[in-house]
Structure 1
């Protein structure tokens, strides 16, 4: 609670005037942060931010996902992540599903524009979107700040995109 109060520049007592309990504070803030992160991810996937290639748009969207930075950089990150999923489970599932659909759509658009060839990997856009989403969540393990995590995501996206380049021969 002290960290939340400091971040909001209010006293701890003020938080309890606005919210019933710690779960109320955390739930509302988590939902707000999740919504903001989802909006930023959507902007990346739509090409509204400074990311020109499909690879850059996907990387930006995946890094914008909720709590990536908080989980990696805070000593309480894993606890916050677990509390977020426990208190906001329905909201988490809804945003995850929405993000998955947007990522799938971005990959399909990439196929239409000739940026990628999913047939070369024998995978669908939804398969790749799911794998990207799940893999990036695991890339934050054993990191103490955001820089190694961002590098891992960058390398993983490069590796994935190399496997679905338009000129790559199909897998047997």
Structure 2
């Protein structure tokens, strides 16, 4: 599966759904709430999505498409290895992470993610792992970093550790701090030998 950017009407629906899910939680947000937030009738909403689970899956797809793009862009920027990793790891969670962790319904949204779109999360994480793997191979080939293992496996370690930080953080601030510490640690471990 390849994630692509949604059209403007779909973006409007997804934005309205995200606002509803953040404010009321997944279970309490209705298709009527989403339609109203998107400025359309409920029948018009059903022309785009069959139910709120499909809308939630659309949000997950949109998140991963954006994250893959932003992570790749952050890694491609100039700067110290630690800065590029810090920007990439921050982009991995993106604004969505802040919104989820700041919402009173954040835990419910995390649970809904796994229940409604677990397969898409797995696919999205694989895409992010591949982004990291490609970058690690290219930087290693240029002599910009040293690796002791295989690039795709290390990309998987990045993703797993970032997921661990997300699941153990009590607040968005502690999440950001954990991500920054992890980026610094990885930069030190990957820095080329003098």
Any conservation in 2 of the 1:58–1:103 contact (CA below 8 Å)? no
The residue that corresponds to 2:171 in the other structure is 144
**Pairing 1:4–2:20 present:** yes
Q: How far is the alpha carbon of 1:135 from its aligned partner?
A: 0.8
Among 5, 19, 26, the residue aligned to 2:56: 26
1:98 maps to 2:127: yes
Greater than 4 Å deviation, 4+ residue runs: none
Checking the alignment, whether the CA contact within 8 Å between 1:54 and 1:110 is kept in structure 2 is no
Which whole-Å CA distance do the structure 2 matches of 1:76 and 1:96 have between them?
23
Distance 1:13 1:42 in 2: 32
- Within 2, Cα distance between the matches of 1:76 and 1:6? 6
CA 1:115–1:6 in 2, change beyond 3 Å: closer, same or farther? closer
Deviations 1:108-162 (A, max 9, x none): 22212322111xxx322223222121111111323222x3212211111111221
Aligned residue for 2:156?
130
Distance in 1 (alpha carbons) for counterparts of 2:164 and 2:18 = 28
Q: Where do residues 1-172 of structure 1 align in structure 2 (5 Å cutoff)?
A: 3-4=19-20, 12=33, 14=35, 16-17=42-43, 18-19=45-46, 20-47=50-77, 52-66=79-93, 67-118=96-147, 122-140=148-166, 141-145=168-172, 147-167=173-193
Structure 1 stretch 75-84 or stretch 103-112: which is displaced more? 75-84
TM-score computed with the length of structure 1 as normaliser = 0.74
Asked if structure 2 preserves the Cα contact closer than 8 Å seen for 1:31 and 1:88, the reply is: no
Consecutive unaligned residues in structure 2, runs of 5 or more: 1-16, 24-31, 37-41
Q: Distance in 2 between matches of 1:127 and 1:86?
A: 26
Q: Shift of the alpha carbon at 1:3?
A: 4.0
In the superposition, the TM-score normalised over structure 2's length comes to: 0.67
Distance 1:126 1:2 in 2: 32
Does the CA contact (< 8 Å) of 1:103 and 1:129 recur in 2? yes
Q: Which runs of 5+ in 1 are unaligned?
A: none
Q: Is the 8 A contact 2:68 2:92 kept in 1?
A: yes
